[in-house]
Structures are given as C-alpha cells and as structure tokens.
Amino acid sequence: MTLRTLGKSDMKITRIGIGAWAIGGGKWEFGWGPQDDAESIAAIHAGLDRGINWIDTAAAYGLGHSETVVGRVINGLQTRPYIFTKCSLVWDESGRIGHSLRADSIRREAEASLKRLGVDTIDLYQIHWPAWNGHSENASPGSIEEAVGTMAKLKAEGKIRHIGVSNFDARQMQRASHVAPIVSLQPPYSLLAPEVEAAILPYAQQNNIGVIVYSPMASGLLSGAMTRERIAAFPQDDWRKHNPNFQEPLLSRNLRLVETLRSIGKGHNATPGEVAIAWTLRNPAVTGAIVGVRSAQQVSGIANAPDIKLSHEDMLEIEQVLTLQTA
C-alpha cells in the first residue's frame, strides 16, 4: 500500500487505517451493539494481512474494551502496527462518560491505556475532544493547554511518541501547537459531513498537520451493506439507532446517494464504501482515513479504496446527487 508521512512525524502510514470504535461493543453510551471479540481479532488480522499499518482506538471505546482487544492482537506480533489512541473522555463506576483535560487525568488515562494495550509506548496520543457533548470548554476541568503540556511530559518520558488532536477547530489547533508540536488532527469527514473542508482542513494543510479522518463511510451508512431492514433491527445499544442520518427524512436521501456510489463503483470494480472512502482521500489535506471493521469479510470491502482515482465525471455525478439532496 502507498505510504504517506503523517504531518511532521517520522511515521509513514497507509492511506487507510483500522478503526476500533465498533469493536468496543455495546452496553455503553456510544456503543455499536454486541460484538464478538473473536470476530474483532480476525478483522484486525485481516486488515494487517492486507498491508494496513496502523490501528486507531480510544480508551472510551467500550470503556477500555477496544484497547484490550487491540492489545490481544498485537501481543506477540513480529512486526507491530502503529497504535493510535486517545484521552480526555473518562467514565465513572456506572459507565457514565465525562470529560477532563486536567493533567492528573491525562496521565492516569495514558498509564491505563499503556497497560490495556500491553505496550511501552503509544505511537500517537490524541486529545479525543476539546469540549464534550455540546458544552463549552469551560464546562470541563482543565484546559487544552494543560492537557497538551502533560502530553509533552509523557513524550519526554518515552510513554508516547507523538501528540495529536481530534475534533479540534483551527483556533484550538493553534492553541495546542503553542504548547507542543501537534502532528495530526482527527476530524469527522465524509460525503454526509463535509464541513471541515471550509477552514479546518486548509489550516491543517497550511501548517503541515497530518489529517486522519474518521467515519468516511458515515458510520457504515455509505458502505453499501446498509438496508432499512438492517437499520430497523439495530439493537438498543447501537448509537446509530438514534442518529438523524439513519432516520427519515434523511435516510431515504442517504440511501439514494449509496446507489450513486454503487453505480460509480462498478466502473472501478469497487464497493460503494470504497468510493466513499476514496472521495475523502482525494482531498490533498487528508493523509489517511480511519475505517472501522467488525469482521474479516468487511475488510475486503474497503481495502482497495486507496487505489481508486475518481474521475472528473465521477466527481460531477456525486456533486449532482449531493446538490439534489440539499435542494
């Protein structure tokens, strides 16, 4: 697979990475319903076997479970993929998610992640959110500056190699960069969520901050495997069940977009999901895309996305259907 350098780091990453949000399973606020660990492990191995060289996870995914599963996979591997994880989302004994940017919290989270992953060093440690759940930054203890300062200390101690941020805007990235070098940004980016194109991606590109986008297939909606029946059967602990994109009136328009992606995909011998991922990768600011997989079979439906070069005609066709959808 083609490699790209992630920002100012020394890491050369494949253009797609393995996303480990869904393998955290259900029974937490942003879960994806029940998930079999054996299938998760097989999925990650299938991705690594295809040449993908990085895994993105977070402490909050499954309240630590995702990191534990990733740790089981990489334990004993002769060649280990890059491991990216995140901090700032914490939880209490009842599993309720909270948010903290305090120094003592960031350090505790890093130590816990290192233990669950079974590694001595985290390749990329990212602030998951600058603020939480629609609240202002002031609603959480600590600050961006305090958190990044602690991450710089963790880097000096050899516990993390690089510092990244997730869900930051341009001003927040600038503030973080004043404290320590930021090598990457992780924003949401897809055909259904293009908002970062306006100011956030240009800022990252201008400042040589690598970008690894998440949810390029809109949490599976653009994969080509989603149907009304499947959505209706989502378990109660699948957060997508209550997401507007998976409900009417947006669902019908989104499924029409999938059929356009399917049509374009036929010309590239690709799935709708691969076309959706390729659409994000065509942006010059984007270093790579995080693609969630829950089974080995799903890997074959996303692995060729980096090889797809969308034509001018393809882009026009996508633009036309998007214009119709927003009219």
Active site amino acids: 61
- Rounded to the nearest angstrom, the gap between the alpha carbon of residue 250 and the centroid of all alpha carbons in its chain is 23
CA distance 23 to 64: 11
Peptide bond into 187 cis (omega under 30): no
Cα–Cα nearest to 254, from 192, 211, 164: 192
Rounded to 5 degrees, φ, ψ at 55 are -125, 130
| Alpha helix positions (H), the chain | 37-49, 65-74, 103-117, 144-156, 170-179, 200-206, 228-232, 250-266, 272-281, 296-299, 312-326
The string of DSSP letters for 173-211 reads HHHHHHHS---EEE-B-BTTB-GGGTTHHHHHHHTT-EE
Which residues 6+ apart lie within 8 Å of 261 measured at CB?
Answer: 222, 224, 272, 273, 275, 276, 318
Q: What is the dihedral of CA 91, 94, 95, 101, to 10 degrees?
A: -10
